[in-house]
């Protein structure tokens, strides 16, 4: 059975929808998907790493500024360069430091053959070093060249002489060996320069070392006043050649002799004696 409507009226029909309205009703907005947990963790890590790098860079920059740049900026106005004090006297060094505001301090002394006595041989800080005012500058003053005295070496062995010379700041130079009855074989007879001579430190000292008494070396006795005949006989018995004048006296006391008493003789030497009267050659 059909619906009835009042006479003379038609039922209301819905207005037709446009194409855009149909599309809008068909297309429903989609909700955005929530980010996953790993993605959120990755973003947090990136943020923390960026923050850490920024803080580290800031800290390093601050340290560099405070420890390097800032001291230079603050202290540059009070800096001076240490003058060169080498080879100056202490008084000259004080006058040189006075305009800079630096203070001279004498640290000590030492020997130096190249720097005259009383002059500065070393300084600390070194010349040209930038320092702040009122800083102390320590200096060492030269004592000049060091000298040593030759020790007494008579009767010492060669090794003993070397040790004594070394202790005195000297050294052994040439060594000569010769007969001597003054000391035993192998002992020092004399030095050149002699004992108590003053030499620069490190200079050589020559040694004369005994080889003992040579059997062919004799000491000339004092024959003055002795009978010439008896003296001649004794000397010729030892192998010496004694000269006498052919017409001179062959007897009488000796009034002169050559070589002199105490001189060293060898068998190839001749001896001249003068008896009362004249010299016999």
What the block records as the tokens of 83 is 């003058």
On whether the CB atoms of residues 128 and 161 are closer than 8 A, the answer is no
Higher pLDDT, residue 47 or 2: 47
What the block records as the tokens of 265 is 């003789």
- Tens digit of each residue's pLDDT (9 = 90 or more) over 80-126: 899 999 999 999 999 999 988 899 999 999 998 889 999 999 999 99
Higher pLDDT, residue 219 or 107: 107
Asked whether residue 29 carries a pLDDT value surpassing 70, the answer given is: no
pLDDT of residue 197: 92
Report pTM.
0.41
On whether the CB atoms of residues 77 and 109 are closer than 8 A, the answer is no
Which domains, from first to last, does the chain contain? Answer: 82-142 (3.30.10.20), 147-210 (3.30.10.20), 217-275 (3.30.10.20)
- Tens digit of each residue's pLDDT (9 = 90 or more) over 150-193: 999 999 999 999 999 999 999 999 999 988 878 888 999 999 99
Which ranges of 144-189 does DSSP label H, i.e. alpha helix?
A: 158-167
């Amino acid at each position: 059975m059909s619906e009835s409507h009042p006479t003379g009226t038609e039922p209301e029909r819905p207005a037709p929808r446009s194409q855009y309205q149909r599309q809008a009703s068909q297309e429903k907005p989609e909700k955005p998907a929530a980010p996953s947990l790993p993605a959120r963790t990755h973003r947090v890590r990136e943020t923390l790493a960026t923050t850490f790098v920024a803080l580290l860079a800031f800290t390093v920059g601050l340290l560099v500024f405070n420890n390097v740049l800032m001291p230079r900026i603050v202290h540059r106005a009070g800096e001076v360069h240490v003058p060169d004090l080498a080879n100056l006297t202490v008084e000259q060094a004080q006058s040189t430091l006075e305009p800079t505001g630096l203070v001279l301090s004498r640290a000590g002394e030492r020997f130096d053959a190249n720097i005259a006595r009383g002059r500065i041989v070393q300084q600390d800080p070194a010349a040209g070093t930038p320092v702040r005012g009122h800083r102390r500058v320590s200096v060492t003053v030269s004592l000049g060249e060091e000298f040593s005295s030759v020790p007494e070496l008579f009767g010492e062995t060669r090794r003993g002489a070397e040790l004594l010379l070394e202790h005195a700041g000297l050294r052994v130079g040439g060594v000569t060996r010769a007969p001597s009855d003054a000391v035993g074989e192998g002992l020092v007879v004399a030095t050149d320069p002699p004992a108590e001579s003053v030499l620069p430190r490190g200079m050589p000292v020559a040694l004369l070392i005994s080889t003992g008494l040579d059997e062919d070396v004799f000491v000339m006795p004092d024959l003055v006043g002795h009978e010439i005949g008896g003296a001649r006989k004794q000397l010729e018995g030892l192998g010496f050649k004694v000269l006498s004048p052919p017409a001179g006296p062959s007897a009488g006391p000796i009034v002169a002799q050559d070589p002199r008493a105490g001189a060293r003789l060898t068998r190839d030497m001749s001896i001249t004696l003068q008896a009362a009267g004249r010299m016999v050659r």
